[in-house]
Amino acid sequence: MAYLINCPYCGQRTTDEFYIKGDASKQRPAAIGDGTMDEWHDYVHIRDNVRGRTAEHWHHTGGCRQWLVVERDTVSHEIYAVTPASTWKGPSALPARKTTGRKTSARKTPARKGTSRKTSGRAKT
Amino acid sequence: MKYSIFSLARNAWSGHKNWQPAWRSPDPKPEYDVIIVGGGGHGLATAYYLAKVHGITNVAVLEKGYLGSGNIGRNTTIIRSNYLLPGNNPFYEKSLQLWEGLEQDFNFNAMVSQRGVVNLFHSDGQRDAYVRRGNAMRIHGVDAEILDQHALHDMMPFLNFENGRFPIMGGLCQRRGGTVRHDAVAWGFARGADMRGVDVIQHCEVTGIKREKGKVVGVETSKGFIGCKKIGLAAAGNSTTVARMAGLELPIESHVLQAFVTEGIKPWLDNVVTYGVGHFYISQSDKGGLVFGGDIDGYNSYAQRGNLPTVEHVVECGLAMIPSLSRARVLRSWGGIMDMSMDGSPIIDKTHIDNLYLNAGWCYGGFKATPASGWCFAHTIANDAPHELNSAMRLDRFRTGYVMDETAHGAQANLH
Amino acid sequence: MTSFRFDTGGLIDRSSQIDFSFDGKMLQGHGGDTLASALLANGQLLMGRSFKYHRPRSVITAGAAEPNALMEIGEGGRLEPNTRATMQEIYDGLVAKSQNRWPTLDRDFGAINSIASSFFVAGFYYKTFMWPKKFWEAIYEPIIRRAAGLGHLSHEDDPDRYEKAYAHCDVLVVGSGPTGLMAALSAARSGASVILADEHAACGGSLLREREEIAGQPGHEWAAETLAELAAMTNVTIMARTTVIGAYDQGVFGALERVQKHVAVPDHDVPVEKLWRIMAKACVMATGAEERPIVFGGNDRPGVMTASAMRAYANQYAVAAGRSACVFTASDSGYRTARDMKAHGLHVEAIIDTRSDAPAIETDGVPVITGAVVTNVDGGKHGMKAIEIDRGSGHETIPCQSLAMSGGWSPVVHLACHQGARPSWDEDEFCFMPPQNNPAIIAAGSANAIWSLGKCLADGAARGEQAAKLAGFKTRKTAVPKAKDDTSHTSAPMWWVKQSTGKPFVDYQNDVTARDLPLAAREGYDHIELAKRYTTSGMATDQGKLGNVNAIGILADATGKDMHEIGTTTFRPFYTPVSFGALGGQHVDEHFAPVRMSPLHNWAADLGAEFVETGLWYRSSWFPREGDDWLAAMTREVLNTRAHVGICDVSTLGKIDIKGSDATEFINRLYSNAFAKLPVGKARYGLMLREDGFVGDDGTTSRLSENHYFMTTTTGHAAETMRDIEFAHQALWPDLDVQYASVTDQWAQMAIAGPKARDVLSKIVDTDLTNDAFGFLAARQVKVLGSIPAMLFRISFSGELAYELAVPAGYGEAVANAIIHAGEPYGIGPYGLEALSAMRIEKGFVTHNEINGRVTAGDVGMGRMLSKKKDYIGRMMSERDGLNDPEREQLVGVKPVNPANRFRAGSHLLNPGDKASLKTDQGYVSSVAYSPMLDSWVGLAMLKHGRDRHGQKVMLWDGLRNVHMEAEVCDPVFFDPAQEKAHG
Amino acid sequence: MAEMLTQISALDDMIVPGRYGRSLPQGPGAALTLVHPCEVAVVIAAKGKARALSAAIKRDFGVDLPGMGGSATARSISLHGTAPEQWLAVAPGAAAGSLAAKLEKKLGTMAMVTDQSHGRTVLRLEGPRARDVLAKGTAVDLRPTAFKPGMCAATQIGHVGVLIACTGPDSFELSVLRSFAEGFWQGVCELALEWGYEVR
Ligand SMILES: Cc1cc2nc3c(=O)[nH]c(=O)nc-3n(C[C@H](O)[C@H](O)[C@H](O)COP(=O)(O)OP(=O)(O)OC[C@H]3O[C@@H](n4cnc5c(N)ncnc54)[C@H](O)[C@@H]3O)c2cc1C
Ligand SMILES: NC(=O)c1ccc[n+]([C@@H]2O[C@H](COP(=O)([O-])OP(=O)(O)OC[C@H]3O[C@@H](n4cnc5c(N)ncnc54)[C@H](O)[C@@H]3O)[C@@H](O)[C@H]2O)c1
Ligand SMILES: Cc1cc2nc3c(=O)[nH]c(=O)nc-3n(C[C@H](O)[C@H](O)[C@H](O)COP(=O)(O)O)c2cc1C
Ligand SMILES: [Zn+2]
């Protein structure tokens, strides 16, 4: 684990608040007709199963109920980035930052004006 | 040297100075007929049966760590053959039958102990599912019993029948199920294979698979290149990594499963019992420790260790089933990396690459399968074709849809 | 009776007398005593028996690593085996018993194992007990099992409570010795929040056990003052009796607080143990060092203990194992013990130093024999008489009643290793050094191989600052009090005394001797991990805290490798064993899993319902009347509903409110069947596949207005389906304008079914319910009882004219009662899950019994619901061959030829005349009910080629219960196949 | 006729005022109160409407719509940021249905408003040990320096989802799904035994 996940919305939480679905690296073939059976088989079954840096879909069931992409290391259990699934654009290009949970929660004191920064950007995409 | 009470007495007489190594530590030969990657239970059993059943003895088992450093040496030692699906059930029964004569066969006491395995159920629906499973066993001649509360009470009066949340209604019992001393299985197969001429090579990591004209011809290792005619992959937990060396992509994720042992206590639990509401299974080892386990941590991992939330959850399930566990102290926890396949069932198959064979995807159930897996894999390698027993354990079943989904959770590895 | 208490001294409270018992004997101790020290004070040197040979044993240590003095504490449900007497505080009424002996500790039959010990070498059991085959389980194994294990665990329920909690801090300091105290002080002064944890009842670590001074005052006084200073700081939490048990990812530490393990009858409002999960930005590991025993003949005899333990007993508890002592040492710790014991008035015969070049250290006149070893101990269960030494010129005997040994020191590195890092051997310090892979776990003091008090204090201060900095605080230099800086390190350790004439133990508890390890190596178990497993060295309750390094040394010797090459075994949690109770905390009994209650729970209960657990919910299952069993009640409920009208609580269904301009498109992608053209005011049954093409869930969705839908899911899959919907939106199609919220808990939902349903409902609903106005599958927002907002759906899971009515949960009871009231003239009655289930089986409707996760839409006769015109979850994979194989089992109905014959779900299906086998297996029964309408047991089944086999006979085969019967295959719809009632 | 019906709380016959648990000289460590009736609504911004929504809320309710993890209160309505562009609106005591209706009317297509007045059970937990009680259930950092008035956290206690809003130095508003409320109540009560608690 990861024991602590820094949810971009809720801050640092223990992993028992999350549900883990698995590999996030693959794109769902766009729509019917676009994907061949092979592509679909690849999407549904084949796993890179990386030894090292990987990206997984986690759902913050016990918190904001958002699907997140957690980029972490499968050997050291270090966590590099946690991004909302809705805005995730593939593995973050950032160099492996040491954010093994020792960072304080991303949640600042409450923003009293406007809405969450992370999602208002989404409206335009 | 054959092990027996007599050889033990003879050696005691000479101060145990004359024991021979249980296996040789050979340097790799330049080439073998068959190389098995992975010196876990399955790899060693494969080599053993290649030699014993098929007369193929020019075989090397390459193990990157010490013998049994993988899951064979870190599992909760439960054996049973209570499977539902026709592609699994006869295979696991074959395995149980092999266990039953194994120790005499390989001359090593692996403490096969058929203490009985009971799976508890807590609702009508769960009972029906277990009855279906039990009947699937019986239909194949496998022993199975359905125990009601009463029978269960006679067996384990300390179960929490009136649990505040999920009362225990009964259990599916397989008396022939039980436990086996994990390490001894690796050692016994290694010794048995070694005596038949197989080279068991420890601390030899396979780093590449060499192919020529579509065929595999050998492996790169930490001890240099080793040629071979055939390769069998049995690298549980690391299957993706080794298969990728040959360009093979697998429907497998590597996950950590933790296991636990308590301090040794006087006999307290006779049989194996599993909880039906959450994952929890427990038995008592011959040394007196309660060996137990539960669900995987749920995230992909190659780290052989897990985290505390899973530990707590496992223990909560244990207490829900047997409240008097409360004062038992957990001595040690550890983790193993397993292949979780996308339908929860294993793969023993040829691959599309000539002379490359795959044994993978055992999830948390591969210990009980060790003898049959070795037996079938040896058959598949020797004959270049699967045995009927492993004919459903195909690699292409995900593509074709003939999946074997015992837990019925679909294509999500961590749910199986 | 050699052990005794000094007349003066120690940190015990001599004014308090505490009564406790050991093996039935009433004894007394003082406040501040551990069970071990109190037993020594009472002359009870013999405290336990070893695992294999049942050797008599006493304490070797005065702390957490104790392998020998393990006892059963408490009685009944509080019985606790394997409790370390060295860690157990005594309390009034404490009941302790020795263990692993029969019949008594003094006369233990098992000791005859010692005689056969030449047989019981490492791994002997792997080589024998194989013949005859049957004997293993019948004879050998039961004997082995009875002999194995240590103490007894009760089967009684534990009367005590446990809890778990979380704590947060900037700096966690583990260990409250001089290092930990200074670290806590310097970190806290920077402003960081600090938790200081120590496993002992009293903080101070070695300062309580040594006579060294700090800043001119006794160490323990300095400790007390420093603790008081820390306690006064608001940013410091001191946690005594708290063992940090494991280091996990992202700076989370597990810690076990023994809240009430030192009281006879715990206060039930307070947990006896609390499991903490401490989230720390940095951790100072000031866990000290463990003194290594020396492996020599008889090193397990009562009276032999580590040098630091002997000092601890003398200095902290004012007890000693004997009136005279010898010291056997490879380090200067032995000298310190000699001095301390002399100061306490003991006769110290000699210091035997393994080093021929031993440094000159103050001995207070005790003679030193250098370059010599102890080869055996003359002693037995009641104490020792003498030691046998060898200084190269044959054996000599020195009489003494106790022996202190010191083979050097091993830093307590566990917490730094729990995340997989391994310690490395240091040839200068002769110990395994803590790994430094994790910058946030900082080893300090003796845990980092710093041996002198002065340097430990300074290192503690520095590491505390380092930790605070890491946690983001500015620090200032902390003044370090003066203390001696005279302790030198060990010189080359002696892994075992080869000249030993007695048994030299490496692992005390498991009776592993120095001879077992070379044997393991000879047999090929030469890797340290193999040697551990083959010999069981390091696998006992102390996990090799004392013996492992010696074992590594012996193996290195035997294999000609160096210590570094051999390396350690894997360090794993827990640092010391942790009870199930603590790990479970408050999540036991009814708190094992959350409970969900329907808003109609009390309503049903008032009507006499029996409830059944379904997932987290309690659901009303049947409504017995006098003398009814479930079958009679269910039958009555079905007949009444089908003849008149019934009401059933279906509140547990998952309910999701969905809105947004893309809601229609979204829903259309979730369901396999068409939803794009669902008219407003209509409900539709829908099927959801998993992405792998198998059926996931089903339910109805109603279009309440253009962009507003109300979706229901099954009870069992509600959580999963909600999550899947969120996934589909957030991860797959975030561009859709759709909003959704679970409203499962907002609505009480009830089914009103039966020919009179319309008549009853019309009385409380403000809407025209005639067929024209509110036909089959109508769905609308309505008002009930005048003004209560509600939703009404004309859907039927019973096959009757039926409605589902949803009202705000808090009004559920009132509305349900109003319906009962309104229905009275029509003969309304409640029905439960059993009747609901029987009716749906009569109608051939599927539930998760049928759509069990391995079933396709085609299997259950819903192949037509797989749209070919759109993309939806699972579409592509549902087209795989394996999911469309004509050999797949198909949903059918089955009726026994004799309708009175009861059969059960889980039965398999065979062709008549076939012998049961996997090859002849035709399928299985998924659901069974007694059908009151057919007066027959009926079932739904999955049968090969089932749809072509209506009218044929099959055998229902239930080998488990030995119930077999002939049955007819039929359409799964047993009742009203034309759907006339539902449409009526 | 609705006025004649009383909205029954999920804790209908569970609330028995009194003192429980250990009795310490310094008095009970925590006090628990059921807030009932209490109007609750979920507000989720329509796609691209968050800004407009924020303005509308400010205009019509006089509240600055808080960000994720924040709470804002004005004129007896509190808004808690529970998820991105999603809020829980809470108004203790008002007549059922009207909060959601009012919000829906004012917000139109800017947001989805879903009434949860019956779907959520709201409790108040306060007292010197309130934070310690909660810390037995959730790993959220609840220290006064980290979790201050005006903040909220959606988390779990005893596997039950709960929204904890900090309403004062030592007071918290807890809202849980109705069906879980009974077990949750019992669970929280047990966690407070150690310091004694009062049910009001
Ligand atoms: C905690 C736990 C509990 C379990 N409990 C049970 C149970 O109760 N019952 C049951 O039936 N099953 C159980 N299992 C599953 C079972 O242990 C495994 O399925 C089974 O052991 C896998 O087969 P194996 O023995 O061959 O694997 P392993 O012992 O893991 O063998 C694979 C070997 O391959 C080696 N290897 C990997 N890569 C390379 C390379 N590149 N070169 C050379 N060697 C390599 C590894 O070092 C390893 O030794 C459990 C598993 C775990 C982790
Ligand atoms: N040669 C020698 O005589 C010699 C050798 C080593 C150390 N020492 C002396 O010992 C002292 C060492 O001081 P220190 O402060 O580093 O260590 P310490 O031994 O004084 O204190 C360590 C404390 O940590 C506790 N602890 C260990 N693991 C724990 C865990 N997981 N959870 C909770 N508590 C745990 C121990 O019980 C102990 O109380 C110095 O005074 C040093 O001079 C002397
Ligand atoms: C069935 C079984 C029983 C075990 N019993 C003990 C035991 O009694 N004592 C112990 O220290 N470890 C025991 N272990 C755990 C091993 O020490 C070790 O942790 C495990 O094999 C994993 O290896 P690793 O910790 O070296 O990675 C047991 C392991 C298994 C699989
Ligand atoms: Zn979150």
Report the gap between the CA of A8 and the closest CA in chain D (Å).
Answer: 10
Backbone phi, then psi, for B97, in 5-degree steps? -65, -40
C900-940 residue pLDDT tens: 999 999 999 999 999 999 999 999 999 999 999 999 999 99
**What mean pLDDT comes out for the span B343-357?**
98
Nearest CA to ligand 3 atom 21: B74
Atom of ligand 2 nearest to the CA of C576: 31
Return the pLDDT at A33.
64
Q: How far is the CA of C550 from the centre of ligand 4 (A)?
A: 49
pLDDT for residue A104 is more than 50: no
C916 reaches B (C-beta below 8 A):
yes
CB A31 to CB C871 under 8 A? yes
C68-86 residue pLDDT tens: 999 999 999 999 999 999 9
pLDDT for residue C200 is more than 60: yes
pLDDT for residue A95 is more than 70: no
C454-489 residue pLDDT tens: 999 999 999 999 999 999 999 999 999 999 887 766
Return the pLDDT at A99.
39
Return the pLDDT at C161.
97
Residue C850: partners with Cβ closer than 8 Å, 6 or more residues away: C860, C891, C926, C927, C940, C942
Q: Quote the crossing angle between the two packed helices B124-139 and B89-106, to the nearest 10°.
A: 60
A12-54 residue pLDDT tens: 999 999 999 999 999 999 766 667 899 999 999 999 999 999 9
pLDDT for residue B127 is more than 50: yes
CB neighbours of residue C953 within 10 Å: 14
pLDDT for residue C168 is more than 90: yes
Q: What ligand is nearest to the CA atom of residue C409?
A: 2
Question: Which residues, numbered 61 to 120 in chain A, qualify as contacts with chain C under a Cβ-Cβ cut-off of 8 Å?
Answer: 61, 65-67, 77, 79, 84-87, 100-102, 104
C392-429 residue pLDDT tens: 888 999 999 999 999 999 999 999 999 999 999 999 99
pLDDT for residue A111 is more than 50: no
Q: Which residue of D has its CA nearest to C814?
A: D5
pLDDT for residue C559 is more than 60: yes
Return the pLDDT at C959.
96
Cβ–Cβ < 8 Å for C412, C287 = yes
Return the pLDDT at A32.
65
Which own/partner contact pairs does B54-58 have at CB distance under 8 Å and 24+ positions apart? B54/B378, B54/B379, B54/B382, B56/B378, B56/B381, B56/B382, B57/B196, B57/B197, B57/B198, B58/B29, B58/B32, B58/B33, B58/B34, B58/B197
pLDDT band for C490, please (50, 70, 90 cuts): low
The Cα–Cα gap between C854 and C863 comes to 15
Cβ–Cβ < 8 Å for A123, D48 = yes
Q: Which residues of D touch C746 (CB under 8 A)?
A: 114-119, 178
pLDDT for residue C112 is more than 50: yes
CB B4 to CB C691 under 8 A? no
**What mean pLDDT comes out for the span C256-280?**
97
Return the pLDDT at C119.
81
pLDDT for residue D150 is more than 50: yes
D153 reaches A (C-beta below 8 A):
yes
pLDDT band for D41, please (50, 70, 90 cuts): very high
pLDDT for residue B82 is more than 60: yes
Cβ–Cβ < 8 Å for C405, C293 = yes
Q: Which of C200, C340, C446 to mutate to test the pocket of ligand 2 (most atoms within 8 A of CB)?
A: C446
Return the pLDDT at B15.
87
B372-400 residue pLDDT tens: 999 999 999 999 999 999 999 999 999 99
pLDDT for residue B145 is more than 80: yes
pLDDT band for C130, please (50, 70, 90 cuts): confident
**Encoding tokens for residue B29?**
């030969």
**What mean pLDDT comes out for the span C823-848?**
98
Q: What ligand is nearest to the CA atom of residue B338?
A: 1
What is the average pLDDT score of chain C? Answer: 96
Return the pLDDT at B54.
98
Atom of ligand 3 nearest to the CA of B73: 21
Return the pLDDT at D182.
96
CB C734 to CB A67 under 8 A? no
**What mean pLDDT comes out for the span B276-282?**
95
A62-89 residue pLDDT tens: 999 999 999 999 999 999 999 999 999 8
Report the gap between the CA of A111 and the closest CA in chain C (Å).
Answer: 23
Question: Which residues, numbered 307 to 336 in chain B, qualify as contacts with chain A under a Cβ-Cβ cut-off of 8 Å?
Answer: 307-309, 313
Return the pLDDT at A96.
44
User: For A76-88, b where at least 16 C-beta lie within 10 A, e where not — what string?
Assistant: bbbbbbbbbbbeb
Q: Which of B111, B331, B402 sits opposite C541 (nearest CB)?
A: B331
D60-77 residue pLDDT tens: 999 999 999 999 998 889
Could you tell me the CA-to-CA distances from B71 to B74, B77, B179, B204, C963 in Å, in that order?
5, 10, 15, 17, 41
What is the residue type of C364? D
pLDDT band for A2, please (50, 70, 90 cuts): low
C637-685 residue pLDDT tens: 999 999 999 999 999 999 999 999 999 999 999 999 999 999 999 999 9
pLDDT for residue B74 is more than 60: yes
Q: Which of B36, B62, B66, B75 to mutate to test the pocket of ligand 1 (most atoms within 8 A of CB)?
A: B75
Return the pLDDT at C507.
98
In this structure, chain B runs to a length of 416
Region at C217 (left for phi over 0; alpha for psi -120 to 50; beta for the rest): beta
Q: How far is the CA of C456 from the centre of ligand 2 (A)?
A: 9
Report the gap between the CA of D149 and the closest CA in chain A (Å).
Answer: 10
What is the average pLDDT score of chain D? Answer: 94
ipTM of this complex prediction, to 2 decimal places: 0.97
pLDDT band for A109, please (50, 70, 90 cuts): very low
The Cα–Cα gap between C97 and C23 comes to 5
Pocket lined around ligand 3, Cβ cut-off 6 Å: B 73-75, 77, 182, 259, 261, 285, 287, 289, 291, 304, 331-332, 334; C 529, 539, 543, 569-570, 572
- Rounded to the nearest 10 degrees, how much is the dihedral formed by the CA atoms of C809, C812, C813, C818? 160
C747-806 residue pLDDT tens: 999 999 999 999 999 999 999 999 999 999 999 999 999 989 999 999 999 999 999 999
pLDDT for residue C1 is more than 70: no
The Cα–Cα gap between C535 and C517 comes to 7
Tokens 């319902």 label which residue?
A: C609
Q: Which of A4, A105, A111 sits opposite D67 (nearest CB)?
A: A111
Cβ–Cβ < 8 Å for C330, C356 = no
Q: Is C813 in the pocket of ligand 2 (CB under 6 A)?
A: no
**Whole-number CA gyration radius for chain D:** 17
pLDDT for residue A101 is more than 70: no
pLDDT for residue C491 is more than 90: no
Nearest CA to ligand 2 atom 37: C199
Q: Which residue of B has its CA nearest to C962?
A: B135
**What mean pLDDT comes out for the span C89-103?**
96
pLDDT band for C133, please (50, 70, 90 cuts): confident
Return the pLDDT at A110.
35
What is the average pLDDT score of chain B? Answer: 97
pLDDT band for C118, please (50, 70, 90 cuts): confident
Report the gap between the CA of C727 and the closest CA in chain A (Å).
Answer: 6
Return the pLDDT at A121.
29
pLDDT for residue A125 is more than 90: no
